[in-house]
Amino acid sequence: MIKFEDVEVVYPNGFRGLSGINLEIHQGEFVAIIGLSGAGKSTLIRAVNGLVPYTHGTLSVGETVVDPKNKSKLRKLRSKVGMIFQQFNNVGRITVLNNVLIGRSAFTPTWRSLIGWYGHQDKEVAFQSLERVGIVEKAYNRAAALSGGQQQRVAIARVLAQDPEVILADEPVASLDPPTARKVLGDLRTIQRDLGITCVVNMHHLDLARDYADRIIGMRDGKVVFDGPTAEATDSVIAEVYQREVSAGDQLAPEAEVSSKEPG
């Protein structure tokens, strides 16, 4: 589904964010990416939908090759690839429904979104996505007036409204408390199973990754240092990724501290 062939990212300031990435992520997989802060997790995920242009190699999603230069092709690709952010990135001052409708942008003519006149079908899709994440009763509330977990669900609904083939999530639960984090990840997991969507998720919390992912990819210094099914990601392997012993602080019990590392 997503194929990295010798992909490299060099940032404009000359910093090498990714080097020599070779990966293949299959249809319907739930992949967790772990690694220390600055390892290049966000870079990897953002390269997939072209938010960070890659500079070498080929990166393809499905049949299409990601081409950061060709804006209209990139838009078409992005309409199939949804993205969820750590900070939710909802527009706070408009309603939840309108936030979800942002996900329909690629399917709406520009003039219609200009006057805010979305079609019946689009609204139906938006409502159904809200129903799937269970906050349909907040549809006409302002997005800023929701709690963090609810906001992240709005973001998931926005992505669902795109009818995506792939969902990218950049630390979707890092700013949520542990029980809410588990609920949101659970939602994501269910949706992924039901709809057969490929999910690539960045995570800081090992135990969450182990509980929810099919496959774990470990990164360090812009390179993939571990790639295997969850069962193979034993403590020693993880210690190798983090280059230190896995301590209790890396585990996230529901009632434990939110995060012992700096948030991304």
Partner 1 sequence: MSHGHKVASALVGAVLLAAGAFLLTYSPAANASDVFSRMMWGTALAAGAVTVALAVYGLAYAGTGRQRAAERRRLAASHGRQGYAPDRLDLRPIRPAKFWWNMALIMLGVLFVSSAAGTGMTLSALLEMPARVWDFSGQMIGGVAQIPDEDVRGDWSSAFDAMLESVAIAWIGTLVGALFSLPCGILAARNLTPLGTYIPMRFILSVIRAVPEIVFAVAIFIPLLGVGPAERGGAMAGAFALGISSIGTLSKLISESIEGVDQGPLEASRASGATHMQMIRWAVLPQVLPEVLAIWLYRFEVNIRASAILGALGAGGIGRLISPPNGLFGQRPYDWEAIGITLFVIIAVTMAVDQISGFVRHRVIHGKTVRRRTRKQAEAAPPPEPPRAVAL
Partner 2 sequence: MSAALSERPVTEPRPEPGTDRPSPPKPALAPYLGLVLLAAAAASFFIWNWEGQAVLFLPLGDTVLWAPRDPLLGLGAMMLILVLCWRLRVSPMGAFGGLAIVVITYWAGSNIHFIDRIAEVPRRLTGGNTRDQLVGYFNPDWSYLLFQNVAGTSRPIWGEWLITLCMAVVATIIGCFIGLLLAMLASPVSSLNTGTSQTVKAINSVVRSIPDVGWALLFAAFLGGTAYGLGALAAVLALIMFNIGIVAKLLGESIDAIHPGPLEAADAAGATLVQRDRVAVLPAVMPSFISYSLYVFELNIRASAALGVVGVAGIGGELSRQIGRMSQGYENVGAILWALVLVVLMVDLLSLWIRRRLL
Interaction mask 9-28, partner 1, x per CB under 8 A: ----x---------------
Closest distance to ligand ATP from the beta carbon of 261 (Å): 8
- Give 48 or 199: the residue with its C-beta nearer to partner 1: 48
Does residue number 91 form part of the binding site for partner 2 (CB under 8 A)?
Answer: yes
CA-CA distances (angstroms) from residue 125 to 97, 136, 187, 189? 11, 12, 18, 20
Q: Does 81 bind partner 2 (CB under 8 A)?
A: yes
Q: Which of 43, 90, 129, 152 binds partner 2 (CB under 8 A)?
A: 90
Binding to partner 2 in span 157-176, by CB under 8 A: 158-159, 162, 168
The binder of Mg ion chosen from 7, 9, 42, 133 (CB under 5 A): 42
Give the count of residues interacting with partner 2 (CB under 8 A): 35
Tokens of 232: 């193979």
Beta-carbon contacts of residue 147 (< 8 Å; ≥ 6 apart): none
Tokens of 78: 């992005």
Helix axes 120-133, 148-161, angle to 10 degrees: 140
Cα gap 165→141, rounded to integer Å: 28
237-255: burial string, b at 16+ Cβ within 10 Å, e else: bbeebbeeebeeebebeee
Tell me the per-residue interface mask from 116 to 135 with partner 1, x by CB under 8 A, - otherwise: -----------x---x----
Tokens 């000359």 found at: 14
Please tell me the distance from the alpha carbon of residue 264 to that of residue 261, in angstroms, as a whole number.
9
Site for ligand ATP in 32-91 (CB under 6 A): 35, 37-43
Which tokens in the block code for residue 172? Answer: 């979707």
- Contact residues toward partner 1 (CB under 8 A) are 13, 87, 127, 131, 136-140
- Contact residues toward partner 2 (CB under 8 A) are 49, 51, 75-79, 81-83, 85, 87-94, 98, 101-103, 105-106, 108, 110, 113-114, 116, 155, 158-159, 162, 168
